[in-house]
Amino acid sequence: MHVRLIRVLGLLAVIVMGLLSVAGPAVAGSVTSDGAESDEAAETCKTANEGYNICVVLVDQAATTEDFPDGAPIEGVTIVVTNPDGEVAEAVTDATGLAAVAVEVGGPHSVELDPDTLPEGSELSNPDQLRLDDVAMFGFSKTVQFPIGLEERTGTSLFVQFSQLVFTGLKFGLLIALAALGLSLIFGTTGLTNFAHGELVSFGGLLTLTFNVGWGVPLLLAIPLAFVAMLLIGFGQEFAFWRPLRKRGTGNIALMIVSIGLAILLRYAFQYVYGSENQQYDQYVTQTPVDIGPLSLFPKELVIMLICVLVLVGVSLALARTRIGKATRAVADNPALASASGINVNTVIALVWIVGTGLAGLSGALLGLDQGIEFQTGQKILLVIFAAVCLGGLGTIWGAMAGAVMVGLFTELSTLVIPSELKNVGALFLLIVILIIKPQGVFGRRERIG
Amino acid sequence: MDWGFILSEAFSAAFGPTAAVFALAAIGLNIHFGYTGLLNFGQAGFMAVGAYGLATSVQTYGLSFWTGLGVACCASIVLALLLGIPTLRLRADYLAIATIGASEIIRLTVASDSLLDTFGGSNGRSGFTGTFADLNPFTDSLDLGLFTLRPYTAWVALVGWVLVALACLITWALMRSPWGRVVKSIREDEEAVRSLGKNVFAYKMQSLVLGGLFGSMAGVVFALDRSAIIPSDVATDTTFYAYAVLLLGGAARVFGPVVGSILFYFVLILLGTFFAQATRGDTPLIPDWLMTSQQSAIMRFILLGAIIIVLMVYRPQGIFGDRRELAIDGR
């Protein structure tokens, strides 16, 4: 009876792999080639001081000459770096405009430019941004930009800004939709609000990191590999952990608190193994942006979105058309009735854990490709995922996906009005508002929730 | 390996200010979760308004310490009302999500760069302890045999434990009053209480305000102990420290949070200091490839997670609790 499901999933895997291998080389080919200058600066930066360096290259981009196609270097500007303990180190830009400050690894550091040392006539393109906080070290060196003489980007009109935000929001929404679908399915079939779902997201990304950076597996193989590993972990946690607990008769609220314990345990176990820095995969980190209409975006972002859409469509089709998919929806709707009609509820729950964990892991692997991965990547988006699931309706399937896209768009578009570091506050407000006015969610059925 | 040092660290954590802070926070949670059955996952939010209420009033607005304390109390009452009016009608798991969301909103707001002048961003607030330190009756370090507390720490500990004693007294008196019986029956069966003509919503709200007030006092003592408050001190993990303390001691028991806090911090700091010691020096007890001294600092969080899981699975009623009196079976 599972043949059809396996066929659908198999087809899906082939499509994703095919897509990756087709899109992969094209993406790889477009990695920045005209960035020789900045590569050179990065190399100098690595070896400027013993140990780790934060570098600033100051050039006046308005004054380009033949010798300096990127702009004339600005000498004698003081750069001050403050580490998390409040210790201060500084350096002055040399004849090539480079200032390298020796720092300890980690961070976040804050990098500040002393405006009094700027020569006459050179002004920062963004005079308000004399200080950059949260500069984290990824490798031996980190180059920080303070644009000078950069002309106002042509067309940062509201329209361009708006469409860029819509794009970013859509991408983020699709990424959290993968995780939200699993969370919603698990809630629907078992009644458990899984607070450890964020850690499953991190786990997928960190496994990809291990495969790619640690073992040298190409990323195109590392992501599917991490996905498969997460499917196995989903199987493992259902059989070794959650099923025995359900058999003991542990109530849902108790299980929810257990999931919090599990989340804390896993999160810090990740930190134990991987450290606390945000890390990047080995491939496709920097790419030349391509311009599509008003948008300027990395090719990898398009690939990420395409994979998300394909997987979501695949899972939706499997849920809608296959026998086991229908059984899953029946259990999510009413476990007792489903069980009475001869559906093996335990098989369905196991499948939901496997697929849900796999999808969360895939979401983390792709998030890592998009913005790097750290031990708390998942925790940071957990409440956004909750917001998505509650917006669509806890336990619903289509609602979770639609809710995720809506929350993604909402968080990004809210930055038009509120400071961007508060964008998650917007999502949390949305979560609380939706719980108050329509707790069953936009797509959920009305039932007793109070 | 200096066992004397490890033990004295563990004892001074168990009887020092930290355990008092989390005992207070857990007494608040006990009123919410243990007695009324409200699954409040936002206790860190109440601690945040307490700590920031004091620190911001004194450092940013130059008000007196006592006004700051008043602001901290008022802020927690306002938060409880704001949070309670919309969310108290929700089912347990929805309430949990809404409250954890609210506490994150508070943390992200005080950490925000756009409010740097008011809340100090990620550097938080400090320098608000002047008046409190001046009142310190301890001139020398307090030597209690097993451990020694510096004068300021001893003063914070004294105030903290006096507040814990007061909170216990209030809880004990309330829970044997008619009010306590109504609140406990809400935990058992909300509909039944409603059918008796009681205003369930009002009782829940009173419970939320009272527990939140204890939470904000925990935040105040926390900020006084560290002489500073930063946003990451009031992250969601802080709430779950309080839950671990409550579940260990036993929910719905007056002294559950107190014993839970002392024991929890004794074990946590004992193991934490042990791992720190075992990874120090040139030839550490635990080899470097297994655990570095940086990693040893993470062990306590891993232990926190493990303690919550084990307690919830094997002894959800904790040391003193009664399993029948625990609102964790859900509906």
Identify all chain A residues contacting B94, using CB atoms and an 8 Å cutoff: 390, 394, 435, 439, 449
Q: DSSP character for B323?
A: G
**Residue among A253, A266, A439 whose CB faces B329 most closely:** A253
Delimiting residues of CATH 1.10.3470 domain(s) in chain A: 2-16+158-437
- In 3-state terms chain B splits into helix, strand, coil percentages (rounded to 5) of 75, 0, 25
Identify all chain A residues contacting B330, using CB atoms and an 8 Å cutoff: 191, 251-254
Instruction: Please name the residue of chain A whose CA is at the shortest distance from the CA of residue B115.
Output: A419
Largest CA distance in chain B: 70
pLDDT exceeds 50 at position B127: yes
pLDDT of residue B108: 92
Q: How far is A417 from chain B (nearest CA, A)?
A: 13
Mean per-residue pLDDT for A42-46? Answer: 64
pLDDT of residue B254: 93
Please tell me the distance from the alpha carbon of residue A34 to that of residue A40, in angstroms, as a whole number: 11
The model's confidence at residue A30, banded by pLDDT at 50, 70 and 90, is very low
Separation of CA A237 from chain center: 24
pLDDT of residue A14: 56
CATH fold of A2-16+158-437, please? ABC transporter involved in vitamin B12 uptake, BtuC (1.10.3470)
- The whole-chain average pLDDT of chain B stands at 91
Mean per-residue pLDDT for A8-17? Answer: 54
Instruction: Please name the residue of chain B whose CA is at the shortest distance from the CA of residue A423.
Output: B108
Q: Is the pTM of this model over 0.90?
A: no
Q: How far is A20 from chain B (nearest CA, A)?
A: 37
Please tell me the distance from the alpha carbon of residue A272 to that of residue A437, in angstroms, as a whole number: 42
pLDDT of residue A266: 96
Q: Which of B29, B88, B105 to mutate to test the interface with A (most CBs of A within 10 A)?
A: B105
Continuous H helices in A248-344: 252-274, 299-321, 323-333, 335-340
Q: Whats the size of chain B, residue-wise?
A: 331
Give phi and psi for B21, each to the nearest 5: -55, -50
Query: pLDDT tens-digit profile of B49-67?
Result: 999 999 999 999 999 999 9
Mean per-residue pLDDT for A317-341? Answer: 89
Separation of CA B219 from chain center: 7
Instruction: Please choose, from the candidates B297, B292, B288, B306, the residue with its C-alpha nearest in 3D space to the C-alpha of residue B247.
Output: B306
The model's confidence at residue B267, banded by pLDDT at 50, 70 and 90, is very high
pLDDT of residue A450: 40
Instruction: Please choose, from the candidates B134, B145, B119, the residue with its C-alpha nearest in 3D space to the C-alpha of residue B51.
Output: B119
Please tell me the distance from the alpha carbon of residue A163 to that of residue A53, in angstroms, as a whole number: 36
The model's confidence at residue A448, banded by pLDDT at 50, 70 and 90, is very low
Q: Which amino acid is at A230?
A: M
Instruction: Please choose, from the candidates B160, B297, B197, B187, the residue with its C-alpha nearest in 3D space to the C-alpha of residue B251.
Output: B187
Identify all chain B residues contacting A390, using CB atoms and an 8 Å cutoff: 94, 97
Q: DSSP character for A285?
A: S
Where are the domains positioned within chain B?
3-135+150-326
Return the exposure string of A420-439: e unless at least 16 CB atoms fall within 10 Å of the residue's CB, then b.
Answer: ebbbbbbbbbbbbebbeeeb
Least-confidence region, from A86-90, A236-240, B177-181, B255-259: A86-90
Q: Whats the size of chain A, residue-wise?
A: 450
Mean per-residue pLDDT for A85-114? Answer: 76
Two tokens at B300?
């306590």
pLDDT exceeds 80 at position A153: no
Which secondary structure element, helix H or strand E, spans residue A362, and what is its range? Answer: helix A345-371
The model's confidence at residue A46, banded by pLDDT at 50, 70 and 90, is low
Asked if the Cβ–Cβ distance from B104 to A383 is below 8 Å, we say yes
Unique residue bearing structure tokens 């193991």: B271
Query: pLDDT tens-digit profile of B153-207?
Result: 999 999 999 999 999 999 999 999 999 999 999 998 889 999 999 999 999 999 9
DSSP assignments along A26-84, one per residue: HHHHTS-SSTHHHHHHHHHHHHHSSSEEEEEE-EETT---SS-TT-EE--S-EEEEE-T
Can you say whether the dihedral through the CA atoms of A91, A93, A96, A97 is positive or negative? positive
Which secondary structure element, helix H or strand E, spans residue A112, and what is its range? Answer: strand A109-113
Q: Are B307 and B287 in contact (CB under 8 A)?
A: no
Delimiting residues of CATH 2.60.40.10 domain(s) in chain A: 39-144
Instruction: Please choose, from the candidates A312, A303, A285, A287, the residue with its C-alpha nearest in 3D space to the C-alpha of residue A23.
Output: A303
Q: Are A114 and A80 in contact (CB under 8 A)?
A: yes
Please tell me the distance from the alpha carbon of residue A340 to that of residue A350, in angstroms, as a whole number: 18
Percent of residues, chain B, with pLDDT higher than 70: 98
pLDDT of residue B235: 92
Q: Residues B250, B254, B255, CA angle at the centre, nearest 5°?
A: 70
Please tell me the distance from the alpha carbon of residue B213 to that of residue B77, in angstroms, as a whole number: 7
pLDDT of residue A69: 63
Query: pLDDT tens-digit profile of B87-106?
Result: 888 877 788 888 999 999 99
pLDDT of residue B288: 80
Least-confidence region, from A111-120, B101-110, B225-234: A111-120
Mean per-residue pLDDT for A143-164? Answer: 72
The model's confidence at residue A260, banded by pLDDT at 50, 70 and 90, is very high
* End-to-end CA gap in chain A: 39
pLDDT exceeds 60 at position B112: yes
Mean per-residue pLDDT for A397-403? Answer: 88
Report ipTM for this prediction: 0.90
pLDDT exceeds 80 at position B33: yes
Instruction: Please choose, from the candidates A243, A230, A241, A234, the residue with its C-alpha nearest in 3D space to the C-alpha of residue A190.
Output: A243
pLDDT exceeds 90 at position A130: no
pLDDT of residue A35: 36
Least-confidence region, from A93-107, A142-156, A186-200, A334-348: A142-156
Two tokens at B18?
């930290």
User: Looking at the domain that runs over B3-135+150-326, which CATH code has it been given?
Assistant: 1.10.3470
Mean per-residue pLDDT for B275-279? Answer: 88
Q: Which are the contacts of B273, defined by CB distance < 8 A and separation ≥ 6? A: B5, B6, B9, B10
pLDDT of residue A32: 33
pLDDT of residue A11: 55
Least-confidence region, from A56-65, A79-88, A441-450, B29-38: A441-450
Q: How far is CA A435 from CA A161, A191, A394, B114, in A?
A: 31, 17, 11, 28
- The whole-chain average pLDDT of chain A stands at 81
pLDDT of residue A24: 39
Mean per-residue pLDDT for B315-320? Answer: 87
Identify all chain A residues contacting B243, using CB atoms and an 8 Å cutoff: 257, 260
DSSP assignments along B240-289, one per residue: HHHHHHHHHH-TT-SSHHHHHHHHHHHHHHHHHHHHHHHT-SSS-SS-TT
- Cβ-in-10-Å burial (0-12, 13-18, 19+) of B93 comes to buried
* Higher local confidence (pLDDT), A18 or B170: B170
The model's confidence at residue A37, banded by pLDDT at 50, 70 and 90, is very low
Q: Which of residues 379-438 of A touch B (CB under 8 A)?
A: 383, 386-387, 390, 394, 419, 421-422, 424-425, 428-429, 431-432, 435-436
Please tell me the distance from the alpha carbon of residue A216 to that of residue A208, in angstroms, as a whole number: 10
**Residue among B98, B247, B301 whose CB faces A264 most closely:** B301
pLDDT exceeds 90 at position A420: no
Percent of residues, chain A, with pLDDT higher than 70: 79
Please tell me the distance from the alpha carbon of residue A35 to that of residue B20, in angstroms, as a whole number: 57
Instruction: Please name the residue of chain A whose CA is at the shortest distance from the CA of residue B92.
Output: A253
pLDDT of residue A230: 97
Q: How far is CA A16 from CA A20, A242, A300, A314, in A?
A: 6, 30, 14, 11
Unique residue bearing structure tokens 């050039």: A59
User: Looking at the domain that runs over A39-144, which CATH code has it been given?
Assistant: 2.60.40.10
Q: Residues A110, A116, A119, CA angle at the centre, nearest 5°?
A: 110
Return the exposure string of B192-216: e unless at least 16 CB atoms fall within 10 Å of the residue's CB, then b.
Answer: ebeeeebebeebbbbbbbbbbbbbb
Q: How far is B162 from chain A (nearest CA, A)?
A: 30
Please tell me the distance from the alpha carbon of residue B28 to that of residue B166, in angstroms, as a whole number: 12
